[in-house]
Structure 1
Amino acid sequence: MQRIPTQRILITGMSGTGKSSVIEALAARGFAAIDTDSDKWCEWHTDESAQPDWIWRTDRIEALLSAPHETALFVSGCKSNQGQFYSYFNQIVLLSASLEVMLSRIAARSNNSYGKTAAEREQIVQHLEWVEPLLRARATLELDTSRFSVAEIADQLAALGTG
C-alpha cells in the first residue's frame, strides 16, 4: 500500500487574528498542531540593524517539517524567517481580521501579553500595513476570522488537511 504524503499547512497572520485559538481547536480534533510562538520553536536574533527579532529556530522547524506525521501537520506562526520554509508546506493559510477586531482580541486575551502596551499596539498597526501584504502575496488561502467562528475556521482547515 502506497503511503499518501501528509499535508503540511502553515497558519499565519498578524497578532490577534486567531492563530493560537485555531491551532488549539485543530489539536483537539486529533491533528498534529503546533503553535510555534514559544521558546521551543523560536529564539531572539539580532539582525544587521541591531533590532531584536523573534524568529523560528531553523534546526527545530526543519526537523518538524521533515518528520513523518500520522495526520495533517498544522503549524501556526508569523516570523520574519518563515519564508525559507514555504517549500515544505502544501498550503499557506493567512488568517486576517480588521485592525479593530485584532486590537479588541489582543486587549481581551490572557494567554499572551504581547500587544498590551501602546508601543506594541503601534507595532501591530505597522505590521498590518507592511507585513500582512507580504503574507497575502504568498498565501494559498485567506480566511477572515472576523466573519467565522474558531470552529468554522477549524472546519475549513481540517478539510484542507484531509482533502
Structure 2
Amino acid sequence: MSGTGKSTIVRQLVARGYKAVDTDDGWCEPAPGGLQRWREDAITTLLDTEDAEVLFVAGCEENQAGFLPRFDHVVLLSAPAPVLVRRLATRTGNPFGKRPDELRRVLGDLAEIEPLLRESATHEVDTTAPVDEVVSTLLRLVN
C-alpha cells in the first residue's frame, strides 16, 4: 500500500548490498482508469535472468497476482491509516497521495485491497517499527 515504506526499505536493502527493485522506478506502465500496472515483459525478464542469491521486489499493482507463484515469499508491509496519511503528507520523493482524490484512493485501497493482499501474503510486517528493525525482520524471513 502507498505510504508503507516500500521505497525506503528498498533503499536500505540496496545500501546493505542486496538486490532490491522498487517497481515504481521504471517497472510500471499506465493502465486504464489512471492506474498503473507492472510491465509484464520487464518483470518476467527480471525474474528469468536475475542471478542474485536474494532478490527483493517491492510494489503493489493489480497484475502482480500473476507473478505470485514465482516468489518464495510475499510480504505485506502494513501500517495503520493515520500513519499512512502522515507519511503521504510529509514525504518528499513521491507526490502521490498528497491530493485529496489520491488520498481517498489510498484509504479506499487500504479498506478494500489490503485484506486481499493479506490473504495472498506469506508474511506481514508492521512498518511502524524503525526502518532498521523492519529491514532486519525481512532479512530474517528470507534467510
Q: With structure 1 as the length reference, what TM-score do the two structures score?
A: 0.85
Please tell me the root mean square deviation across aligned C-alpha atoms, in Å: 1.0
Q: Does 2:28 align with 1:42?
A: yes
Runs of 4+ with >4 A deviation: none
In the alignment, is residue 103 of structure 1 matched against residue 89 of structure 2?
no
- The one-letter amino acid of 2:133's match is E
Is contact 1:95-1:142 (8 Å) kept? yes
Match of 1:116 among 98, 102, 108: 98
Q: Distance in 2 between matches of 1:92 and 1:41?
A: 18
Indicate the larger mover: 99-108 or 67-76: 67-76
Local SS of the residue matching 2:98: coil
CA distance in 1, matches of 2:103, 2:34: 17
Offset of residue 159 of structure 1: 2.2
User: Which letter maps to 1:58?
Assistant: E
Bigger CA radius of gyration:
1
The runs of 5 or more residues in structure 2 that have no matched partner are none
> Which is richer in strand?
1
Q: TM-score, normalised by structure 2?
A: 0.96
Instruction: Provide Cα deviations, 1:90-115, integer angstroms capped at 9, x if missing partner.
Output: 00000000000001011110000000
- Partner amino acid, structure 1, of 2:75: V
- How many residue pairs match? The answer is 143
User: Matched residues in 1 for 2:119 and 2:10: separation?
Assistant: 22
2:44 matched residue in structure 1:
62
Q: 1:31 & 1:75 partners in 2: Cα distance?
A: 11
